[in-house]
Amino acid sequence: MRIKILLLILFLTPISISSQQIISNDNKIAEINKMEWFEEAKLGIFIHWGIYSVNGISESWSFFNGYISHSDYMKQLDGFGAKKYNPKEWANIIQESGAKYTVITTKHHDGFALWNSKYGNLNSLKNSKSKKDLLTPFVKEIRSKGLKLGLYFSLPDWSYKDYTNHTNKIKRYSIKEDPKRWQKFLNYRDNQLFELKNRYKPDLWWFDGDWEHNAINWKSKELKKELQKDSPNVIFNSRLNEFGDYETPEIGIPIYRPSSKYWELCMTINDSWGYQQNDNNYKTPLQIIDLFVDTISKGGNLLLNISPKSDGSIPNKQKSILKELGKWNKKHSSAIYSTKKGIPYDHFYGPSTLSKDNKTLFLFVRDIPKDNQIVLKGISNKINRAYVVGNGTVLNKQLLCKVYWNKYPGISYLEIPEETLDPYYTVIAIVLDSPIKLFNKKSGAIEVN
C-alpha cells in the first residue's frame, strides 16, 4: 500500500509542477500580448484640461498649496466655457503628431470631472459654464481614428467632502479614526471609475496621486482586479502603488537605460501641465525630438502633454510643435514604431533603435557630422547596406582597423552626403546580414598568421 501511495505521489508531482509552469508561462504570454500595442506605440499625447485653464494657474496644486483659496479656485467654473472645443480637430492633431494613443485628464486632484457623472457634484455638464459632457465626444473621435484611449484619473479628490485631505494645511479626518467615512469616499471613487469603464472602455488607466495613501487604504489590488473584469487586456500605469504594468518617470528622463521592460516618460511641452498663458518656456521641436529619440533608444514611450485653453482651443504654439514632430515621425516611421531599444553608446556615439528581428540598426544623428562621416564600432556582422531613412540614399563605407589575423570587426566610417541631412535628426539604417552581434571580446595580439 505504502509503495503504491509513494508511486502515486511520484507520478503526480511532476504533473502538478509542469501545470504550474504552464500557468505562469501563460500569464507571461498574456502580459506580453497585452503590452504589445503599448510597446510599439512609442508616442502618446497627454491632455491636461480643466478649470485651472481659466486663470492659467497650476492644476489643483494652486489651491492645495494655498496660492489661491478653494472658493476662488472654484470660481473658474464660471469661465470654463469650451466654446471653441472641437474634438475632431483634437483627434486630427493627435494623429498627425504620430502618436498612437492619448491620455486625457478625466478628473484631476481638484475633483472636476469632464464627463457627466452621476456621482459627486462637480462636472462639466452640471457645474461649469460649458454645460456639456466634454469627454464623450472626444472618446468618439479618438476611437474613430483607431487610436488607443487612456484615461487619467486622480485617486485623491481634494474637493470631495469625504476625502481625507482638502489642502496641505486642512486635513478633514484620518482613515484610522473614521474608516466608515473613508469607505464612503471609496464607494464614490469606484462608482465614478466603473461609470468611466462602462461608458468608455479605456485601453489604459493612468492613475495619479497614489502617494497620498498606501495600497491597503486605496484598495489598489482589489480595484485593479475589478477594472480588469471583462477587460483583461487593459493596461495600468505605475501610480496604483505597486500594481502598475509599467514605470512612469515624470519630466526626468532616465540617464541610463532602465532595467524595467516597459516605461513611459510623461513630459510637459513647456513647464506646465495645464494651460498657463504666462508660461512661454516652450521646448523647441528639436528639443522635443531630442527627448523622444532618447526615450525610444532606451526602450520607452514618450507621453507628451498639451494643455488646451478654457475655450477648448489648443494653443497655436503647441499645434505647430506637434506638426513638426509629426512630419519628422512620418519620414522616419520605420526607425521608430515597432522597434526596440538600441545598442550601447560604446558602439555608436548617439541614440539608436533596432528592428524587431535585430537585423536593422537605426542610428540617430543629431549634429552635422565632421568630414560628413559617422563612426560605428564593434559590430561583428557584415553590413549589407547603409542608407538614409526617408530618403533612400545609400552611404559609402570605409572600414578601418580590420586585420585578417583576429576577429576584431573594425571601425566603420559611414559617409552621409550633406544634402541628405535632416533639419532635426538624420536617421541611418544599417542593414545587417543576420541578427546583430556586438563584439565584446578583448582585442589581443596576433591569432593567426
Which residues in this chain contact ligand GLC in the complex, by CB under 6 A? 48, 59, 208, 250, 266, 273
State the pairing for strand pair 235-236/43-47: unpaired
- According to DSSP, the β-strands at 301-306 and 396-400 are unpaired
Query: Residue 41 burial by CB count (10 A; 0-12/13-18/19+): exposed, middle or buried?
Result: buried
Nearer to ligand GLC, 241 or 426 (CB): 241
Nearer to ligand GLC, 243 or 408 (CB): 243
C-beta closer to ligand GLC: residue 211 or 405: 211
Phi then psi for residue 82, to 5 deg, are 55, 35
Least spacing, CB of residue 424 vs ligand GLC, in Å: 26
Query: Which CB atom, from 237 or from 297, has the smaller least distance to ligand GLC?
Result: 237
The CB-of-272 to ligand GLC minimum distance in angstroms stands at 9
**Cross-strand pairs, 305:** 46
> Which residue number, 133 or 208, has a Cβ lying nearer to ligand GLC?
208
Pick between residue 65 and residue 398 the one whose CB is nearest to ligand GLC: 65
Count Cα atoms within 13 angstroms, Cβ side, for 427: 25
Q: How many angstroms separate the Cα of 226 from the Cα of each of 107, 118, 322, 369?
A: 20, 20, 36, 54
Tell me the closest approach of the beta carbon of residue 204 to ligand GLC, in angstroms.
14
CB of 214 to ligand GLC, least distance (A): 17
What cell numbers appear for 63 in the block?
489651491
Strand order in the sheet with 411-415: 373-377, 411-415, 396-400
- Rank residues 208 and 290 by Cβ distance to ligand GLC and give the closer one: 208
For strand 352-355 and strand 339-341, is the pairing parallel, antiparallel, or unpaired? antiparallel
Is residue 255 within 8 A of residue 295, CB to CB? The reply is: no
What is the nearest approach in angstroms of ligand GLC to the Cβ of residue 292? Answer: 17
Per-residue b or e along 91-126, where b marks 16 or more CB atoms closer than 10 Å to that residue's CB:
bebbbbbbbbbbbbbbbbbbbbbbbbbebbebbbbe
Q: Which is nearer to ligand GLC, 89 or 279 (CB)?
A: 279
Neighbours of 283 (CB within 10 A): 17
CB of 276 to ligand GLC, least distance (A): 12
> Residue 199 CB, nearest distance to ligand GLC (Å)?
22
Contact 120, 111 (CB under 8 A): yes
The two most distant CA atoms of the chain are separated, in Å, by: 86
Residue 64: DSSP 8-state: H
User: In the bound complex, what is the minimum distance in angstroms from residue 110's beta carbon to ligand GLC?
Assistant: 10
Q: Report, in Å, the least distance between residue 267 CB and ligand GLC.
A: 9
**Percentages helix, strand, coil for the chain, rounded to the nearest 5?**
35, 20, 45
What CA–CA distance (Å, rounded) separates 252 from 354?
Answer: 24
CA dihedral 183, 184, 189, 191 (to 10 degrees): 110
Cβ proximity to ligand GLC: between 48 and 197 the closer is: 48
